[in-house]
Amino acid sequence: MKIATYNVNGINARLPVLLRWLKETKPDVVCLQELKSPDEKIPKQEIADAGYNAIWHGQKRWNGVAILARDMEIKELGRTLPGDPEDVQSRYIEADINDLHIGCLYLPNGNPAPGPKFDYKLDWFKRLTGRAKELLEIDRPVILTGDYNVIPTEKDVYKPERWIDDALFRPETRAAYEKLLAQGWTDAIRKLYPEETIYTFWDYFRNAYSRNAGLRIDHFLLNEHLNDRLLDAGVDKSVRGWEKTSDHAPVWINIKD
């Protein structure tokens, strides 16, 4: 089974690219982030016509997450993280699909740092870590995937020294990611490719993509039930080179059914 995550940066602006990518790569499950669309404007019919069931948690202008599945029922389990009833940003959705329990997340960017946005990022991270702890109690396969807005190590950025003070790379952010992993999660890409340069995002400007000036910030975290089922993982890098594309590329894993 192939599971993918893709920050589309606007689902309506990205629809042709999204539909082409779905058709060409046929993922079984897809987690989307940055829909930038209220629920009523999400292109539900086009997604259904492409052969996917879907659940979404949209929001006007910003954020927004969705889970798509081909030929499988999606049982929604929640669309908020515990810990802050005041938080209205659409950044999380969780569902059961067959034997898999999947959380789709869009972690806050956090810039400029320090500041209130960075505080929100770290607080959101804490709440995610709390939910992740609960999910580890479930005795079944769990996947936490999406745009983490975290550059985990120096290997994951084209020029680390330029990102030292950035919210994606600051010590607090990396420590929060480390703490999450230490609960018992596996970073699927790094498990399979411990040393390779792998990016999932390239800025729109400064010819970042053609210079391969990228970041690895979209991640797949797997619990121990998936340790022996991970077959492969990768980034559909070429999609980043398409016309009218997102600044992120889709990331995927293949697991044993």
Partner DNA sequence: ATGCCGATGCGTCATCGA
Interface contacts to DNA, rule CB under 7 A: 7, 9-14, 34, 36-38, 41, 60-62, 108-109, 111-112, 117, 147, 149, 162, 166-168, 201, 203-206, 215, 217, 244, 247-248
Closer CB to DNA, 7 or 145, in the complex: 7
Based on CB atoms, which residue is closest to DNA, 110 or 141?
A: 110
Q: How far is the CB of 57 from DNA (least distance, A)?
A: 15
Q: Which is nearer to DNA, 141 or 250 (CB)?
A: 250
Could you tell me which residues come within 8 angstroms of residue 169 by beta carbon, excluding any fewer than 6 positions away? 151, 157, 160, 163
Distance (Å, rounded) from C-alpha 130 to C-alpha 145? 15
Cβ at position 117, least distance to DNA in Å: 6
Are the C-beta atoms of 55 and 76 separated by less than 8 Å?
A: yes
Enumerate residues 6+ apart whose C-beta is below 8 A from 213. 158, 159, 202, 203, 206, 207
Min dist CB 75 to DNA, Å, is: 28
Least gap, CB of 238 to DNA (angstroms): 17
Instruction: Count other C-beta atoms under 10 Å from residue 208's C-beta.
Output: 18
Instruction: Find the angle CA(160)-CA(143)-CA(193) to the nearest 5 degrees.
Output: 45
Catalytic residue among 6, 52, 92, 106: 106
Half-sphere exposure of 180 (CA within 13 A, CB side): 28
Q: Which is nearer to DNA, 14 or 101 (CB)?
A: 14
Q: Residue 16: how many CA atoms within 13 Å on its side-chain side? A: 5
Comparison of 25 and 111: residue with beta carbon closer to DNA? 111
Active site annotation includes 147: yes
In the complex, minimum distance from the CB of residue 218 to DNA, in angstroms, rounded to a whole number? 9
Q: Is 16 in a helix, a strand, or coil?
A: helix
Omega of the bond prior to 160 within 30 degrees of 0, cis? no
Q: Which residue among the candidates 147, 156, 187, 218 is catalytic per the annotation?
A: 147
Catalytic residues: 106, 147
